[in-house]
Structure 1
Amino acid sequence: MAVSSFDKRMMAAAIRYSYRNLGRTGTNPSVTTLLVRDDGEVPVIVGRGITAIGGRPHAETEAILEAGDLARGATAYVTLEPCAHHGSTPPCAEALVRDGIRRVVAATTDPDGRVSGQGYKILEDGGIEVEAGVLASDAEYAMAGYLTQRELGRPHVTLKMALSNDGKIGSRGSGQVAITGPESNAVSHVLRATSDVIIVGIGTVLEDDPSLTCRLPGMEDRTPARLVLDRNLRLPLQSALVRSAHDHPVIVATTRLPDDGKYQQLSEAGCLMMACEESDTGIALPELLDDLAGRGYSTVLVEGGAAVARAFLDAHLVDRIRLYVGPGEIGKDGVEAPVDPDNMPSGFELTGTEIYGADRRFEYERSR
């Protein structure tokens, strides 16, 4: 059976639904399964599942549980190849066979060596028709963190910056400067809510004293871990970050040793201390990302500081760039942005533009 426009419509719905738990499923990706029955009249969604918070149970078993007996003979729309390996639960591919799914439409193949292609094989050996690669690029965009971690062994990195119309990210010595409007700010907070870690430099913290929380009503609990690059432990104990360390994780990346007095004070205040290697320009970023991957983090949002942004770009560790450009200008005392729509590093391709109020958003992806 060929892939139909209805198949694409259902897959698009499944991918949209997967964003609901993005950033909340631990080391597992946020995957959706929709079970659809077509008994000759109007197709009906009889089961819907999404990877649960923390990573278990998986989407397929949740959808089957909701559908009950109606799962038999249904088509399953899955955003990622069903798992094929035995872990704490049996493989999801076997569950789809056992419960009589007739057809599986999948978006993208799982790069995990325990799964890749094996999930499809279990389905086909069980007599299920499989159509793979439906809206694959859309699904891969949504689960970029998981795919990058599996393929490159490090988290996916998004660099987000707000720029004035004259290419400045702030004004020297003036603290935080409002550059974008409420619509852009709300979208930026959604990006925070769907990320595992926000990274800023200590210079930004000393200048702005940010909290780096998600401040969308009802989504405050989705604040990610907040990481400060602080080689010499200059983070003030009375900063907004330290004062909120017991509410949302604060990671201090440093090259100082645990016997340092400030190290002990920050630890006692609730900060998670991360010992880092040192490079010629500061903290060694590739090793930092390796450590974050080892802690189960798969998506990193770099938010603060021109120097930190430049360091990630120079190390070729940025996968996606989001630029929010406001209509105002800061002038000659402004801090130059390391990138802007007219000055983009090689290897990045413009993939989308959006308008939010008076602001424009540009998004770029790094080619592989």
Structure 2
Amino acid sequence: MMRHAIELAGQGRYSNHPNPRVGCVIVHEGRIVGEGSHLKWGEAHAEVHALQAAGAAARGADCYVTLEPHSYQGRTPPCTEALIRAGVARVFCGALDPNPKVHGEGVRQLRAAGIEVHSGLLEPEVRELNLGFEQRMRSGLPRVIVKVAASLDGRVALANGVSQWITGEQARADVQRLRAQASAVLTGIDTALADDPQLNVRDPAIELRGRQPLRVVLDTGLRLPAAARMLQMAGETLVMTSAANLLPGAAAAARLEALQAAGAQCIGIGLDAQGRLDLREVWRELGRRQCNDVLVEAGPTLTGSLLHQGMVDEWIIYYAPMVLGGDARAMAVLPALQRLEEARRFELQALSRIGTDAKLVLRTSAGSATNV
């Protein structure tokens, strides 16, 4: 039953940000009498949907829920109270909620009401549903996922910058799903100027329920044109720029005004020793904005900086069966190493075929915590 609850949780993977993905199944005398998933932030949680479907059959039933029921009044009432009122006999949780407001408290409330509670059922699979949410709850930082489309020799564009399209149509459709699952899609100003990307989800088959991931541009010099296509799309665009550009009388004042008039939100970020936006401050700001997973679609410079600084939690590479040659642009600009021991290592999580291309999913071998 927990495996079915995991499947149900996937129904909210595109639409319930910033909340975790949760599925619930109510079982009475060996028969499923109710099921539900959390579909949209601010709306009923999975347990409530399942209890409504079960009705009176919930009394004395077993509840299988992927995440510990939440135990405080937020935008919705506590699910613990709903389960207690319904009279369920046992609750099986896949994992405890990493939110410190809930962690263990939901279980405590249920047990205090005489409900038998078991946790840890299929926990590794359950935790995979909400790696970004878990990381943000524990560290205040989002999970950083870098996506790259490359040739077999690791090139992402020709020397003249042409890159459309290295990968095939099915790989590009898969990227739409990656975007839909992310809280935010982030790029650098060089990519924004070269490609004029939309950074939105355009696949009509993906049920977003009214949301689009936040679009984020790292733009130290505030060079993003007010006519950029992403500013004409539904959803929000956040431009992170040098804090100096937001000071009264700054040279960029006219550009700032034009971007804001076009609908962009512009905020100031401190600079690092190289005069670039401080990436640690970028992640902290996105964590404050309740971003769980940030998908980075950027050029070699920003990708290289993230890899070099140990800020990549997951790296997804789509390899196309072609070779672009030595003059083409590499997927990441990185400093030269003197010893093999200095190499940053990743663990292969998945390898699959997407149309004519291969998809690799890698995670940092040291764990999933962003190095901030």
TM value normalised by structure 1: 0.89
Taking the TM superposition and a 5 Å limit, the aligned residue runs for 1:1-368 are 10-38=1-29, 43-219=30-206, 222-244=211-233, 247-255=234-242, 256-257=245-246, 259=248, 260-281=253-274, 282-338=276-332, 346-366=344-364, 367-368=366-367
Closer/same/farther in 2, CA of residues 23 and 149 from structure 1, 3 Å limit: farther
Q: More deviation in 88-97 or 296-305? A: 88-97
Supply the AA of the counterpart residue of 2:280.
Answer: P
- Mean Cα displacement is larger for which, 263-272 or 328-337? 328-337
| Unaligned ranges ≥5, structure 1 | 1-9
CA contact (8 A) 1:175 1:208 kept: no
Distance 1:16 1:361 in 2: 23
User: Structure 1, residues 159-203: CA drift from partner, whole Å, max 9, x if none?
Assistant: 111111111111132333312112221111101011111111111
The 1:334–1:91 alpha-carbon spacing in structure 2 relative to 1, beyond 3 Å, is: same
Partners of 2:348 and 2:342 in 1: how far apart? 9
SS of the equivalent of 1:175 reads: coil
State the Cα distance separating 1:326 from its structure 2 match: 1.0
Distance in 2 between residues matched to 1:283 and 1:271, nearest whole Å: 18
Shift, 1:158, TM fit:
0.7
Question: Is contact 1:263–1:273 with CA below 8 Å preserved after alignment?
Answer: yes
One-letter code aligned to 1:351: Q
Q: 1:5 maps to which residue?
A: none
How big is each residue's C-alpha offset from its partner over 1:10-59, in whole Å with a ceiling of 9 and x where there is no partner? Answer: 22222222222225324321211111223xxxx43222222241233222
Equivalent residue letter for 2:180:
A
Residues 348-357 or 174-183, more deviating: 174-183
Moved more, 285-294 or 21-30: 21-30
**What is the CA distance between 1:365 and its match in structure 2?**
2.0
CA separation of 1:26 and 1:352: change in aligned 2, threshold 3 A: closer
Q: Which moved more, 1:79-88 or 1:229-238?
A: 79-88
Question: What amino acid maps onto 2:9 in structure 1?
Answer: S
Aligned AA for 2:216?
L
Q: How many Å separate the matches in 1 of 2:179 and 2:283?
A: 18
Partner of 2:137: helix, strand, or coil?
Answer: helix
**Contact kept in structure 2, 1:258 and 1:264, CA below 8 Å:** no
Three-state SS of the structure 1 residue aligned to 2:132 is: helix
- Residues 8 and 24, structure 2, Cα contact 8 Å, conserved in 1: no
Q: 1:144 to 1:343 in 2, by over 3 A?
A: farther
> Deviations 1:321-368 (Å, cap 9, x if unpaired)?
11111111111221112399x999535311111111221111112233
The residue type equivalent to 2:174 in the other structure is: V
Flag the 1:98–1:344 CA change in 2: closer, same or farther, 3 A.
farther
Structure 1 residues 31 and 178, CA gap change in structure 2 (3 angstroms): same
Does the Cα contact within 8 Å between 1:11 and 1:135 map onto a contact in 2?
A: yes
How many Å separate the matches in 2 of 1:203 and 1:284?
17
Cα distance in 1, alignment partners of residues 344 and 331 from structure 2? 16
Amino acid at match of 1:190: R
Percent identity reads 33
Shift in Å, 1:222 = 4.7
Q: Is the 8 A contact 2:246 2:267 kept in 1?
A: no
| Paired amino acid for 2:312 | V
Q: Distance in 1 between matches of 2:191 and 2:59?
A: 56
| Further displaced range: 283-292 or 108-117 | 108-117
The answer as to whether partners of 1:124 and 1:130 remain within 8 angstroms in 2 is yes
The SS at the match of 1:216 is coil
| Cα RMSD for the two superposed structures | 2.3
Q: Quick check: 1:110–1:117 contact (8 Å CA) kept in 2?
A: yes
Q: Quick one: distance in 1 between partners of 2:203 and 2:177?
A: 8
In structure 2, give the amino acid aligned to 1:141.
E
User: Structure 1 residues 343 and 166 mapped into 2: Cα distance closer, same or farther (>3 Å)?
Assistant: farther
In the superposition, the TM-score normalised over structure 2's length comes to 0.88
- 2:370 alignment counterpart: none
| Distance in structure 1 (CA, Å) of the matches to 2:118 and 2:332 | 43
Q: How far apart are the structure 1 equivalents of 2:188 and 2:137?
A: 27
What is the distance in 1 between the residues matched to 2:147 and 2:75?
37
State the aligned residue count. 352
